[in-house]
């Protein structure tokens, strides 16, 4: 019996989902040792190569780290899906509060340029959500998201002040976000942006425009973000 076990999935993928679940459940925490290759092979009744295949895939995704002679361990928490490493956000993940305030949340239409980026008809209705991210004392980022209104009924009235828009989409609308095409540049803060971010007009800000795609390669969200330059840098690892 080569490819499928008891359901329609390859064995190595079943093993991967099993491990991923143990991580999202909190049963396994970063740094914890995952079962060894031989142990996994025994547990799931597969050969060693298959267990290895499963772990290799998880390693490539950054879910686990493998150390020769030592074992396989849950990788440290990943940089969140779409975002920057900012001092503020790093602080936030260490306990300090970083909240976001919804400035606008409404339906608009006739934004043909944005509709084009989402690959939908120019006259389509769009949900526009504008959020200011801030710590207790100062703002550090302004993010504006656009989504096709017909695909996300009721989203404009949901509470987005806390928690991530992305997790809301994945939980309530069963959308799987897989990748984003981003365009990063530097601009001078114009009036409105400068005011909201509390920086002088003309101050350098990072602008990131993203089109985020779902699992079937359909564009789902268009995001424009402005980030205070002194507080943000973007880390990328680029290959070859």
Partner DNA sequence: AAGTGGTCTAGACCACGGC
Partner DNA sequence: CCGTGGTCTAGACCACTTC
Residue 146's DSSP bridge partners are 128, 222
How far is residue 207's CA from residue 150's CA, in Å, rounded to a whole number?
A: 28
Nearer residue to DNA within complex by CB, 3 or 97 = 3
Q: List strands edge to edge, sheet with 71-74.
A: 33-34, 71-74, 64-67
Q: Is 108 in the site for DNA (CB under 7 A)?
A: no
3-22 residues in contact with DNA (CB under 7 A) are: 3-5, 10-13
Q: Is 70 in the site for DNA (CB under 7 A)?
A: yes
Question: Is the separation of the CB atoms in 57 and 16 below 8 Å?
Answer: yes
CA distances to 29, 134, 160, 226, 236 from 239, rounded to whole Å, are 29, 33, 36, 27, 10
Nearer residue to a second copy within complex by CB, 60 or 97 = 60
65 binds, among a second copy, DNA, none (CB under 5 to 8 A by kind): none
Helix axis angle for 48-61 and 11-24, nearest 10°, is: 50
Nearer residue to DNA within complex by CB, 72 or 105 = 72
In our burial notation (b when 16+ CB lie closer than 10 A, e otherwise), range 12-39 reads bbbbbeebeeebeeeebeeeeebbebee
CB of 213 to DNA, least distance (A): 18
How far is residue 107's CA from residue 57's CA, in Å, rounded to a whole number?
A: 41
Nearer residue to a second copy within complex by CB, 98 or 184 = 184
* Residue selected from 19, 23, 28, 53 as contacting DNA according to rule CB under 7 A: 53
CB of 22 to DNA, least distance (A): 15
CB of 69 to DNA, least distance (A): 2
* Residue selected from 30, 31, 38, 61 as contacting DNA according to rule CB under 7 A: 38
Give the count of residues interacting with DNA (CB under 7 A).
30
Tokens of 55: 């772990």
**Judged by CB under 7 A, which stretch of 67-75, 114-122, 180-188, 192-200 contacts DNA?**
67-75
Ramachandran category for residue 198: left, alpha or beta (phi over 0 → left; psi -120 to 50 → alpha): left
Torsion of Cα atoms, 57 then 179 then 215 then 31, to 10°:
40
Q: Is 237 in the site for DNA (CB under 7 A)?
A: no
Q: Which residues bind a second copy (CB under 8 A)?
A: 49, 60-63, 78, 81-82, 177-188, 202-206, 227, 229, 232-240
Question: Is the separation of the CB atoms in 84 and 234 below 8 Å?
Answer: yes
Q: Is 109 in the site for DNA (CB under 7 A)?
A: no
10 binds, among DNA, a second copy, none (CB under 5 to 8 A by kind): DNA
The binding site for DNA (CB under 7 A) comprises 2-5, 10-13, 34, 36-39, 45-50, 52-53, 55-56, 66-72
């Amino acid at each position: 019996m080569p490819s499928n076990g008891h359901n329609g999935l390859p064995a190595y993928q079943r093993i991967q989902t099993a491990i991923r679940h143990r991580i999202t459940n909190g049963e396994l925490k970063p740094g914890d040792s995952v079962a060894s290759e031989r142990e996994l092979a025994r547990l799931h009744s597969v050969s060693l190569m298959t267990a290895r295949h499963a772990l290799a895939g998880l390693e490539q995704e950054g879910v686990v780290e493998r150390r020769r002679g030592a074992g396989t361990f849950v990788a440290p928490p990943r940089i969140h899906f779409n975002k920057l490493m900012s001092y503020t956000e790093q602080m936030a993940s260490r306990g300090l509060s970083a909240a976001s305030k919804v400035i606008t949340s409404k339906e608009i239409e006739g934004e043909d340029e944005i509709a084009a980026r989402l690959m939908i008809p120019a006259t389509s209705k769009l949900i526009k959500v504008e959020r200011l991210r801030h710590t207790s004392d100062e703002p550090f980022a302004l993010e504006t998201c656009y989504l096709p209104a017909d695909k996300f009924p009721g989203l404009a009235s949901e509470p987005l002040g806390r928690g991530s828009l992305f997790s809301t989409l994945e939980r309530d609308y069963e959308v799987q976000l897989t990748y984003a095409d981003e365009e990063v540049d530097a601009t001078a803060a114009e009036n409105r942006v400068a005011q909201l971010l509390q920086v002088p007009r003309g101050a350098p800000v990072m602008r990131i425009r993203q089109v985020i795609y779902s699992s079937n390669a359909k564009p789902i969200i268009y995001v424009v973000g402005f980030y205070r330059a002194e507080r943000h840098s973007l880390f990328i690892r680029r290959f070859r």
